[in-house]
Structure 1
Amino acid sequence: MVKIAKPLVTNADDSPAFWQIGNLWQIMATGVQTDNAFTLLDQIVHVGDGGGPITHTHTQDEGLYIISGKCTFNAGGHQGLQGTPGTFVSIPGNTEHSFTVDEPDTHVLNFYLPAGFEQLLIGIAHPATVRGPQPTETIVERLPPKWLADKLCEDYGQDNIFGNPFCDRPDPAKMLTKPTPGATLFPYTAKAEDLNHYMAMGGCWTILASGEQTGGCYTFLEVLWRIGLVIPARMYKDKDEMIYVLDGHLKISLGNRTVDAKKGTFVYIPSSTVYSVEVTSSEAHCLNLHTRSGFEEVVKFRGTKLDGRPMTLAGDIQDKVVEERAEARLVAKIGLVNLSAVVF
């Protein structure tokens, strides 16, 4: 029997929370909830002393978006990639990588495709009794047994290069990485302010990850929507979509359910789910993940390219004049079905 995932709404402040090596991990979506398609973790690292996971690989593709703080990434032979607020880091599966956390209270979103890492984490972490840092005196005494951490890493596709990141503390010699032999996809960092922006569909869009960069696995965008924007009812035939609210408020209809999404809210919209969105704050700043890729082509097709992001979105945002049949072919190609006479 084919499983069908259901829509999911999770708020960071009431999600399942765990401590691991002093970090607070808030589990926003698990493989059980997404038919194993992906998992999303909201991570706050309260100690910014240069600690972080030593070099490892895993079979899943990983994406990290830094909400606040600072990290330094090493991946695929590239050392010292800087991550500051608004930076996205793409790490293809089976790529050696490590990173250090350089400022306290660094806040990072992690997603993995497919899911599995969250089960590894749950297997070795401890339920957080408060949404704050793990008491310092318990960090060492609550490290998992190495045999358990090694077994779970093996079970969930993680290969540890210089030791186990969940048991062995980092030092510079354990953070180095090498290129992946025969790789066709490569790690990279992207920051919205350094990229092109597209004014379209009631907002300003920035493509942080395209199908070309991810092998078609996913598209990841940052978007600033104007007040009063309404995205009419639509659905994907065979893709999932996710929205994470960085700032602002949205009213999202999911089938016969309506939810208010605020800062820190994550909304998972599985394929075949009819949904619509309304912006109810002055502006809404969001992250938008699509699995698989394709939606970025609609953004580029409909949008007017800008070199810099506007400080504010004033008035209506006019899309480019496009040929209707070409647009219909593109929308049909990515499996997006508009259920309203108003497109987007």
Structure 2
Amino acid sequence: MTIPEDDPIRRLTIADPDDPALPHVAVVGDTYTILVSGKHTGGRYCLIDMLVPDDGGPAPHRHDFEEMFTILEGEIEVTFRGDKHAAKAGSTVNIPANAPHGFKNVSGAPARMLCLCTPAGQDEFFLEVGTPVASRTAPAPAMSEDEQKAFMAKAKELAPQYRTELLPPGE
């Protein structure tokens, strides 16, 4: 096997999660910072810093790409194919492509984790459905019931474009 030549168009990426120039977005009450986007990696992967408030996290969903979380702070309850699993700070969780899953912060305090998706695309989905916030630690803005319904309608409409399926609660 021959290794391809270096691509001089691709650049080194060094991401400081507290850099105000990075995209920080509120999604489902969590705050996500796109550290390394698919644009940086030629679509190979993306890396997202996730700040999840107590009791926060996404509803059940699945997608056709691999997703891996490393818990930096707190404890997350991962629901994988209907079964609940605990993952505390220092743990890494790999979600195989297509598997139904979701997670919830059960720490009693904010939890922080890194999320790696391969190939990239989840970063673009979050940017399209999320609400921009000022920083990695900015809380998600409060949403009225009508705003929550509008968000869910937009997420459901866009999810298939990003190879994602939102599932009913309990799956």
TM-score tier by shorter-chain length is 0.7 to 0.9
Deviations 1:74-115 (A, max 9, x none): 1135x1210110010001111111111112210011010000
8 Å CA contact retained: 2:26, 2:141:
no
2:129 is aligned with what amino acid? Answer: I
> CA 1:139–1:126 in structure 2 vs 1: closer, same or farther (change >3 Å)?
farther
**Percent same amino acid among aligned pairs?**
24
Shift of 1:141: 5.6
Match of 2:84 in 1: 80
Counterpart CA distance in 1 for 2:122 and 2:144 is: 21
Counterpart CA distance in 1 for 2:131 and 2:145 is: 12
Moved segments of 4+, more than 4 Å: 139-142
Query: What are structure 1's unaligned runs of at least 5 residues?
Result: 163-173, 177-344
1:120 is aligned with what amino acid? Answer: F
8 Å CA contact retained: 2:61, 2:102:
yes
What does 1:1-344 align with in structure 2 at a 5 Å threshold?
4-14=9-19, 15-46=22-53, 48-49=54-55, 51-77=56-82, 79-103=83-107, 104-130=109-135, 131-136=137-142, 138=143, 140=145, 142-143=147-148, 144-162=150-168, 174-176=169-171
Counterpart CA distance in 2 for 1:40 and 1:142 is: 28
Q: How many residue pairs are counted as aligned between the two chains?
A: 160
Query: What are structure 2's unaligned runs of at least 5 residues?
Result: none
Deviations 1:20-67 (A, max 9, x none): 232111110111111000000001012x12x42222110110000100
- Give the TM-score taking structure 2 as reference length: 0.84
Shift of 1:19: 1.3
Q: Cα RMSD over matched residues?
A: 2.1
Bigger-Rg structure (1/2): 1
Counterpart CA distance in 1 for 2:127 and 2:84 is: 29
